[in-house]
Amino acid sequence: MSIVIKNLTHIYNPKSPFETKALDNINLEIDKGEFIGLIGHTGSGKSTFIQHLNGLLKPTSGKIFINGLDITSKDVSLKEIRQKVGLVFQYAEYQLFEETVAKDIAFGPKNLGLSEEEIEKRVKESMEMVGLNYEVLKDRSPFELSGGQKRRVAIAGILAMKPEILILDEPTAGLDPKGRDEILGQIKRLHEKYKITIILVSHSMEDIAKLVDRLIVMYRGKIVMNGTPREI
Ligand code: ATP
Ligand code: MG
């Protein structure tokens, strides 16, 4: 078992007029290597949920175990969680700020204190994983790339941390149909080839039903459906 979530509840602004129960007693298990599609209307709690898996938010109540380790515990550092669980934010390309593609991808691994050699190896590997040509693109400015390419650079930056679990929040948001197919195709290949556990957040069932092993549907902070695309 890769991820076990027990009675996870999150309340924003508790005991105030703005109190919002964004997650309401979520229970879920995800196996190693599974490809999960997480869908639900706007405001249903998808982003809140995945931010807990990445340690960015702490639960109001409940626990999350990643390979048996309780990441909600005070003793587990954010750095430790980030090496296990990589989160690609919606519009992640806006977080690219270095002058070259290679430097942008190296940003995460650099913070891990790895050798220059290991960092370059990881940049190369992670670019290959998302179908970007290292030799052609490494010294290019990320700002000159297409929307789909920029987003792939952002995904490569997360992959360069070698996470066991990859979470993508609406990776196709704002892309044209060509960019969307490019990204979804790349994510599918990533799963097939490297067997990484993937959680893909989307508004649209159609976009992802063909790709994933399992669909999880959220509504008002609860999981209301959980099954194979065929079942749902
Ligand atoms: P979308 O599809 O629009 O991205 P979502 O499913 O990701 O939506 P969340 O962003 O998790 O939904 O929001 C769940 C609920 O929590 C909503 O009611 C939202 O208004 C509220 N919420 C989200 N973030 C915050 C925050 N930082 N402070 C207060 N309330 C928040
Ligand atoms: Mg969201």
The answer to whether 175 touches 150, Cβ cutoff 8 Å, is no
Predicted pLDDT at 113: 87
Predicted pLDDT at 206: 85
The answer to whether 221 touches 23, Cβ cutoff 8 Å, is yes
- The pLDDT tens digits for 150-179 are 999 999 999 999 999 999 999 999 889 988
For CA atoms 53, 55, 61, 67, the dihedral sign is: positive
Ligand 2 center from residue 126 Cα (angstroms): 25
- The pLDDT tens digits for 94-140 are 889 999 999 999 999 998 889 999 999 999 999 999 999 999 999 99
Mean of pLDDT values over 69-95: 94
- As a three-state string, the secondary structure of the chain is CCEEEEEEEEEECCCCCCCEEEEEEEEEEECCCCEEEEEECCCCCHHHHHHHHCCCCCCCEEEEEECCEECCCCCCCHHHHHHHEEEECCCHHHHCCCCCHHHHHHHHHHHCCCCHHHHHHHHHHHHHHCCCCHHHHCCCCHHHCCHHHHHHHHHHHHHCCCCCEEEEECCCCCCCHHHHHHHHHHHHHHHHHHCCEEEEEECCHHHHHCCCCEEEEEECCEEEEEECCCCC
The answer to whether 156 touches 105, Cβ cutoff 8 Å, is yes
Q: Is the pLDDT of residue 201 over 70?
A: yes
**% of the chain at pLDDT higher than 70:** 100
Q: Write b or e for each residue in 158-172: b if 16 or more Cβ atoms lie within 10 A of its Cβ, otherwise e.
A: bbbbbbbbbbbbbbb
**Residue of minimum CA distance from atom 25 in ligand 1:** 12
ipTM above 0.95, yes or no: yes
Q: Write b or e for each residue in 111-140: b if 16 or more Cβ atoms lie within 10 A of its Cβ, otherwise e.
A: eeebeeeebbebbbebbebbebebeebbeb
The neighbour count for residue 43, using CB atoms within 10 Å, is 14
- CA-to-CA distance for 226 and 142, rounded, in angstroms? 38
**Residue of minimum CA distance from atom 23 in ligand 1:** 48
**Domains in the chain: ranges and CATH:** 3-227 (3.40.50.300)
Q: Is the pLDDT of residue 51 over 80?
A: yes
Q: Is the pLDDT of residue 148 over 80?
A: yes
Ligand 1 neighbourhood includes 12 CB (under 6 angstroms): yes
Ligand 2 center from residue 232 Cα (angstroms): 22
Binned at pLDDT 50, 70 and 90, residue 1 comes out as: low
Angle at 89 between CA 87 and CA 94, to 5 degrees: 130
Beta-bridge mates of residue 26: 8
Ligand 2 center from residue 23 Cα (angstroms): 13
Closest by alpha carbon to 27, among 192, 226, 185, 169? 226
Ligand 1 center from residue 200 Cα (angstroms): 17
**% of the chain at pLDDT higher than 90:** 88
